Structure 1
């Protein structure tokens, strides 16, 4: 019974309206999904194959499977159902309602979906045994699990002759991580076939620079992962030896490195194999494990600044110069424009942030070949009439000289 219209509206109509809106949303979602299925069936577009497309196609391409389809089906089923992952629950006694690991006896107990109880004896983790023991013991001793508990997930992989058990636990941040920048930083510039590094002191001066090269062409994803992880170990070991943290580019600001849809075929293939996220993840994971801090910096114009300002001056490559700029930026140093270039800036650019100034200069010099910057003269003049005066005689081609001569100084030289 409703005593007035206001009560009827808020107690009944509002709830009914919300209910039908949710129902309409579900129906719209279902309609869209069914329409996509119809289009997919009409166009014969292939969907994702759970069990790998390669093995699915093998039933028609491999001779042994063509004559023995049951063997293919057996391998296919094994490929589809060879692993499982059970997520944890923070309110469970040992962080998981299915798996129970006892650190003292190193025994694992769990029950399969059909009710079979499995006991695994002497289950040892070659990497991270202490972390697993600590996580489980902490969870078992936690009084208020709903508030302070941590879930512990488990993964089981069937490799035919053996099984691999993985325990996924929460690892707190290393409290003894080296964040000190008192002695400088190790800057990194990640590229398709190498990682350039620069070691700088507290004043931002270059101590040493180098390159760790690798070759990812023709490698499988597993091989690429191993190569990258190996380089991550080498880099973090270098940082530990120098007793300095690491500086590298922010993950979400590096699309330009992997987004070149045009160009030669070999370059595009190399770019497609450029596992940039994997590189950063491997370095950060290794650094976290070894207690080395990693500082993220915005890589805006680091390569351009390094190429124009430091490549010739320090006698290093453009990528090493970029790593040097990254390290300096992480230390808090600003890369202001050399004085000789200020007179060339348009009035509307002269008062803007130094990144905007570098953007204008780099766009003007974008057509100049990279090696020509080894002959740039930034500190030989106080003022110049045009950009082509920055380069020594014969460094530029006729086309480059013609293009740079158009950029004139806004202040006449007295």
Structure 2
């Protein structure tokens, strides 16, 4: 399997009534076959026998069965991968519930609140036992149509339903609202079940192969005038890459085969109509950066990205803060904001010929922390923000030919606060980005001071003595002790009322080093990508 990333682009289709009806029937048949296949797979029937059975039972082609199988196996694999995280989250929630019950037992014995907390704890333990049993037995629980919608039938009025029949209509529609058409590089136009052809005006015409059970009026559904707002050129290049190659076997027999790029399609129905998603494998881009010129380090935070640029010796050139105002935004708006920031940062790294250094974050641990966090803390450790930022930075690096370097995030915040923040007149997050960049270049992380003067949350600073370093041990053992003292110093600073003090001003000679950049606020649509022209890059304080 190729290790190249796969990019997916989407567009909304303009369809006639008969085309909509054909897609609805296809999705309904696809959903029935998918649910039946899941039930038969749990029995343990071999896949070869299932394929022969389903081709006759549902009137589908072999490629359409493969698409159903691949999509279903992907869902099963994602659930199995997520199961250990669910178990860890349940254990964390049980520990928190036990602490709360212990406090309430001493303060409010026999109260209704204590009773409800004990019921909650019993439910959590039962859920944990069920998930552990699923893990040990290999069982997978999959609810087609979403478990959230399924539970709405038990509270119809609260969820806006006048009757159970109204809910059932939504439930059946949700269970049959999409279908997948798998592609292959040895097929015409990368997909024999949905072939795309390029028209003279640059648009695409999709010829979707209907299942035999629905092909009463013809086997093909023709959808003309398809255009992708983003990714049109990539899709056209993938279609143009399809060609016929002639070769010979070992015995000298001539062989004719097709080579190209696989293009897979997913058709999805929402409240506005049908959309199509086209997935193509990205073409490799030559690396245009070098570690010999330095590096750009990034520290990811819930409301901003801290960026630091170094030269090849590890000296700080520039520090930057990129604001990400994600609070109150929808998922699509958040993706657009993060994507614009990632694209512009990678573009700046490409212009300077520098690789991008990222932290290799443990998102599973963050999801477990998220379950027991308060709402304000949950926003700070949101796994969505971190995972999307990392994914979009990696994708932007691949497209631009920028080398992406992942490093261990251990103690980068402590090193940035103690070693770099005050020394360079930058914030602790920018200091962490500087530490990330230096780690990506493999430079030293030994302490540079004997007395730490670290930034405080209000803009001031706090001071504490560093421990004596044991040079026989790894330097991270030293930073582990520094982190413990830094936490204690922050706690003492907060208890003493230090957070109420006004922030200390930056020194005049260091004020110009740090800078802040906010993404442009204007946009064409509230839930579409923000308009950030390339001219913005030239105006940045770099």
TM norm. shorter chain > 0.5: yes
State the match for 2:420 in structure 1. 310
Paired residues for 1:97-136 under 5 Å? 97-104=192-199, 106-113=204-211, 114-115=214-215, 116-136=219-239
Q: Does the 8 A contact of 1:192 with 1:274 survive in 2?
A: no
**Does the residue aligned with 2:291 lie in a helix, a strand or coil?**
coil
The answer to whether the 8 A contact 1:303-1:318 is kept is yes
Q: 1 CA distance for matches of 2:438 and 2:492?
A: 23
TM superposition shift of 1:72: 3.9
Pair member with larger Rg: 1
Decide which moves more: 188-197 or 293-302.
Answer: 293-302
1:258 to partner: Cα distance: 7.2
Q: CA deviation at 1:323?
A: 0.1
**By how many angstroms is 1:260 displaced?**
6.8
Contact 1:189 1:195 in 2 (8 A): yes
| CA deviation after TM superposition for structure 1 residue 79, in Å | 2.7
Q: Is the 8 A contact 2:467 2:481 kept in 1?
A: no
SS at match of 2:420: helix
CA drift of 1:254 comes to: 8.7
Q: Distance in 2 between matches of 1:62 and 1:366?
A: 46
CA RMSD of aligned residues (A): 3.7
Distance 1:157 1:263 in 2: 34
For the pair 1:223 / 2:333, whether they are aligned, the reply is: yes
| Structure 1 segment 147-186 matched on structure 2, within 5 A | 150-159=261-270, 161-175=272-286, 177-186=287-296
Structure 2 counterpart SS, 1:350: coil
* CA-CA distance at 1:281 after TM superposition: 0.2
Name the counterpart of 2:174: 79
**Contact kept? 1:184, 1:244, Cα under 8 Å:** yes
Q: TM-score normalized by structure 2? A: 0.53
1:309 offset after TM fit, Å? 1.1
TM alignment of 1:61-80, pairs within 5 A: 61=157, 65-67=161-163, 69-80=164-175
Q: 1:228 to 1:352 in 2, by over 3 A?
A: same
Larger deviation, residues 71-80 vs 279-288: 71-80
**Matched residue pairs, number?**
330
Structure 1 residues not aligned, in runs of 5+: 1-24, 28-34, 41-46, 373-414
How far apart are residue 168 of structure 1 and its match? Answer: 1.3
Paired with 1:236 and 1:97, the residues of 2 have a C-alpha distance of: 36
After TM superposition, give the deviation of residue 359 of structure 1 in Å.
2.5
Write the distance in 2 (CA, Å) between the matches of 1:371 and 1:316: 23
213-222 vs 192-201, greater mean Cα deviation: 213-222
Tell me: CA distance 1:124–1:217, structure 2 relative to 1, closer, same or farther (3 Å).
closer
Shift of 1:143: 4.7
Q: Does 1:369 align with 2:490?
A: yes
Q: 1:182 to 1:99 in 2, by over 3 A?
A: same
Residue of structure 1 aligned with 2:299, choices 189, 195, 198: 189
Is the aligned partner of 1:359 residue 2:480? yes
CA gap 1:339/1:324 in 2 versus in 1, 3 angstroms: closer
Q: Measure the CA separation in 1 of the matches of 2:423 and 2:407.
A: 23
Residue 200 in structure 1 maps to residue 200 in structure 2: no
Cα pair distance change 1:53/1:259, threshold 3 Å? closer
Residues 258-269 of structure 1 aligned to structure 2 (within 5 Å):
259=369, 264-269=374-379
Describe the shift of the 1:242–1:149 C-alpha distance in structure 2 as closer, same or farther (beyond 3 A): closer
Of structures 1 and 2, the one scoring higher in RCO (CA 8 A, sep 6+) is: 2
Give the conservation status (yes or no) of the 8 Å contact 2:308–2:319.
Answer: yes
Question: In the superposition, relative to structure 1, how do residues 241 and 149 fare at CA in structure 2: closer, same or farther (>3 Å)?
Answer: closer
Distance 1:120 1:140, change over 3 A: farther
Equivalent in the alignment of 2:387: 277
Structure richer in strand, relative to its length: 2
* CA gap 1:72/1:290 in 2 versus in 1, 3 angstroms: same
1:321 maps to: 431
Compared CA separation, residues 345 and 76, structure 1 to 2 (3 A) = same
Please name the residue that 1:239 is paired with. 349
SS of residue paired to 1:110: strand
| Whole-angstrom CA distance in 2 between matches of 1:72 and 1:272 | 32
Distance 2:239 2:444 in 1: 47
Supply the distance in 2 between the matched residues of 1:276 and 1:205 (Cα, whole angstroms): 27
Instruction: Give per-residue Cα distances to partners, 1:313-353, cap 9 Å, x unaligned.
Output: 1122211100001111222211123374899546xx42122
